[in-house]
Amino acid sequence: CKYQIAVIVGSLRKDSFNRKLATALGMLEHPELSFKQLQIDDLPLYNQDDDDNQAKSVKRLKHEIKSAQGILFVTPEYNRSIPGVLKNAIDHASRPYGHNSWKGKPAGIAGVSVGTIGTALAQQHLRNILASLDMPTLAQPEVFIQLNTGLFDDAGNIGAESKPFLQNWMNKYVSWVKMFAA
């Protein structure tokens, strides 16, 4: 594939709905894009003292981000913000100073929540962070999803009701990535 998308899931939970959503989004139509979920559960807690001696897992993450043409964040909302594990991964790859791996990478954001606001507040916080990292982030359509029984089909695809909306989002995301990767 021409464009590699690094997918960051903001939940470490084994049965994470956001991981399922990330996987299902990867099964939509997206010509020329390939999606790969990156590992973040083996990163140490960020400590600035280690900036000159980053852990192997941090170097791997930074390399994977740098090699990608786009980033997709799929995250739950924790206490009206993003989970600490996601912020930890973001901070790691933003350092050392002057070597921010996220810089310039086109980004998309999606999230699913059991609550009615569908991760909207977490996504707004994330947009602030991505702006400071100099990541052009697709603004519309916003993907605020509340979990319901039909969200995924038995094979883990997006269910029939949500599919047109999410395919439309994906089409926009594909164009967004191509615009910046060109």
Q: Which stretch binds ligand FNR (CB under 6 A): 44-52, 57-65, 107-115, 153-161?
A: 107-115
Query: Which of the stretches 76-84, 90-98, 129-137, 160-168 binds ligand FNR when contact is defined by CB under 6 A?
Result: 76-84
Quickly list DSSP for 84-132: HHHHHHHHHHT-STT--TTTT--EEEEEEESSTTTTHHHHHHHHHHHHH
Decide: is 17 part of the binding site for ligand FNR (CB under 6 A).
yes
Beta carbons within 8 Å of 35's beta carbon, 6+ residues apart: 5, 7, 22, 25, 26, 72
Task: Check if the beta carbon of residue 8 is closer than 8 Å to that of residue 89.
Answer: yes
Q: Does 148 bind ligand FNR (CB under 6 A)?
A: no
Residue 71 and residue 107 in contact, taking contact as beta carbons nearer than 8 Å: yes
Structure tokens at 115: 């609550």
Report in angstroms how near the CB of residue 156 gets to ligand FNR at its nearest.
Answer: 14
Q: Judged by CB, which is closer to ligand FNR: 18, or 94?
A: 18
- Which residue from 3, 5, 18, 170 is in contact with ligand FNR, where contact means CB under 6 A? 18
Nearer to ligand FNR among residue 31 and residue 115 (C-beta): 115
List residues near ligand FNR by CB under 6 A: 11, 13, 16-18, 76-80, 113-115, 117
